[in-house]
Amino acid sequence: MLKYIGKRLLYMLLSLFLIITATFFLMRAAPGGPFASEKKLPPEIEANLNAYYGLDKPWYGQYFDYLTSIVKWDFGPSFKYKGQTVNDLISDGFPVSFMLGMEAIFLALAIGVLLGVIASLNHNRWPDYSAMIVAVLGISVPSFIMATVLQYFLAIKLGLFPVARWESWAHTVLPALALASTPMAFIARLTRSSMLEVLSNDYIKTAKAKGLSKPVITVKHAIRNAMLPVVSYMGPLTAGILTGSFVIEKIFGIPGLGAHFVTSITNRDYTVIMGVTVFYSILLLVSILIVDILYGLIDPRIKLTGGKKGE
């Protein structure tokens, strides 16, 4: 296990280096600049700003400076948020995004697994068809469309929840539901197909022959083994939640990191774009490693040695 984790950490560092490099050069290749606007600045002022932020250096000098600052965990100053660094923006916005993301992941797992289990236990009957209709709708409707539908019906028409902003628990419900809709549908379908396969195994038939009740067989024997595909989906799920929150936060006026990221793109705020990208890349790489370790802990038959499974 330790050898496997050590190798994965090396691969994570290599992946992070490639992400940092690609992000840096893509930002430099983008047309315009951080100080380009409809009202053109005088050349002297623009030159002073470029010198202050180190943008007058050659590309390799800027690249080396950026790598050095990343090692020191310093993402640099923001070009557009005056008097604030990228680290300040991450410290302020990430707790909000993290809370929203965790709530969405919890909803996606809880509702998705429940729908999948109900569908598998009632195979080819109306609960199965109903659960799969919900799953198809969740996959087909993008999260930003789901957000506007929820706002219209549950907030404007019925008045059950606030339309937007981030002030209380009630303000988190609609954005979390919108963010969880698509992964919830995938989890429901994964759970259903996996449960159907598990329920047809011989050890389930043996448990039934021993006289064990249906709830005991389902909870103790079937669900645990059926969760392996769901656990392996947790890595992409985390990626979807994090990237999906960018748009959702903008729609609901949530002061999270996603709102800063979207604004930084329109403002060509290079340091914020690169800093948030690197920060989220680290989170995703760590989450994928945790998922792989959990995969082996849930099923002891899987061995994580030398990067190979199941030997």
Q: For 215-258, write each residue's pLDDT tens digit.
A: 888 877 788 788 888 887 887 787 778 766 888 988 898 988 88
Least confident of 50-64, 103-117, 206-220, 289-303: 289-303
**Residue 180 has what pLDDT?**
92
Count CA atoms within 13 Å of residue 291 on its CB side.
Answer: 19
* Helix pair angle (126-140, 86-121), 10° resolution: 160
| Among 177, 188, 169, 192, CA closest to 109 | 188
pLDDT in tens, 117-167: 999 989 889 999 999 999 998 888 888 899 999 999 999 999 999 998 888
**Is 10 a residue whose pLDDT tops 80?**
yes
State the average pLDDT for the chain: 83
| Among 290, 305, 169, 273, CA closest to 237 | 290
**Residue 37 has what pLDDT?**
60
Rounded to whole angstroms, what are the CA distances from 267 to 38, 180, 262?
A: 11, 29, 9
Q: What is the DSSP string of 86-117?
A: HHHHHHHHHHHHHHHHHHHHHHHHHHHHHHHH
Query: What DSSP character marks residue 41?
Result: P
In a domain, 226, yes or no: yes
In a domain, 21, yes or no: no
In a domain, 294, yes or no: no
Q: What share of the chain is helix, strand, coil (3-state, %, to 5)?
A: 75, 0, 25
What token pair was written down for 152? 């219209």
pLDDT band, residue 311 (cuts 50/70/90) = very low
In a domain, 101, yes or no: yes
For 174-189, what is the mean pLDDT? 92
Distance CA 192, CA 205 (A): 18
**Residue 14 has what pLDDT?**
93
What are the phi and psi torsion angles at 308 (to 5°)?
-115, 145
What token pair was written down for 93? 């916005």
Residue 111: CATH number of its domain:
1.10.3720.10
**Residue 309 has what pLDDT?**
43
Task: Evaluate whether 96 touches 168 at the Cβ level (below 8 Å).
Answer: no
**Is 35 a residue whose pLDDT tops 70?**
no
**Is 56 a residue whose pLDDT tops 50?**
yes
In a domain, 206, yes or no: yes
**Residue 175 has what pLDDT?**
94
In a domain, 295, yes or no: no
In a domain, 236, yes or no: yes
Task: Evaluate whether 133 touches 204 at the Cβ level (below 8 Å).
Answer: no
Highest mean pLDDT among 27-41, 67-81, 218-232, 296-310: 67-81
**Is 18 a residue whose pLDDT tops 70?**
yes
Output the furthest CA–CA distance in the chain (Å, rounded). Answer: 86
In a domain, 45, yes or no: no
Distance CA 24, CA 22 (A): 6
Find the radius of gyration of the CA atoms of the chain. 24
**Is 115 a residue whose pLDDT tops 70?**
yes
Overall number of domains in the chain: 1
What are the phi and psi torsion angles at 77 (to 5°)?
-80, 155
The single-letter code of the amino acid at 264 is: S
Instruction: Express as a percent the part of the chain with pLDDT over 70.
Output: 90
Give, in degrees to the nearest 5, the angle at Cα 100 between 106 and 234: 45
Instruction: Express as a percent the part of the chain with pLDDT over 90.
Output: 26
Query: What DSSP character marks residue 72?
Result: T
**Residue 302 has what pLDDT?**
57
Supply the range of the domain harboring residue 178.
94-267
pTM attached to this predicted model: 0.80
Q: Which residue has the tokens 């002030």?
A: 167
pLDDT band, residue 113 (cuts 50/70/90) = very high
**Residue 77 has what pLDDT?**
87
> Under 8 Å CB-to-CB from 197, ≥6 apart: which residues?
226
pLDDT band, residue 307 (cuts 50/70/90) = very low
**Residue 147 has what pLDDT?**
92
Distance CA 215, CA 221 (A): 10
**Residue 221 has what pLDDT?**
76
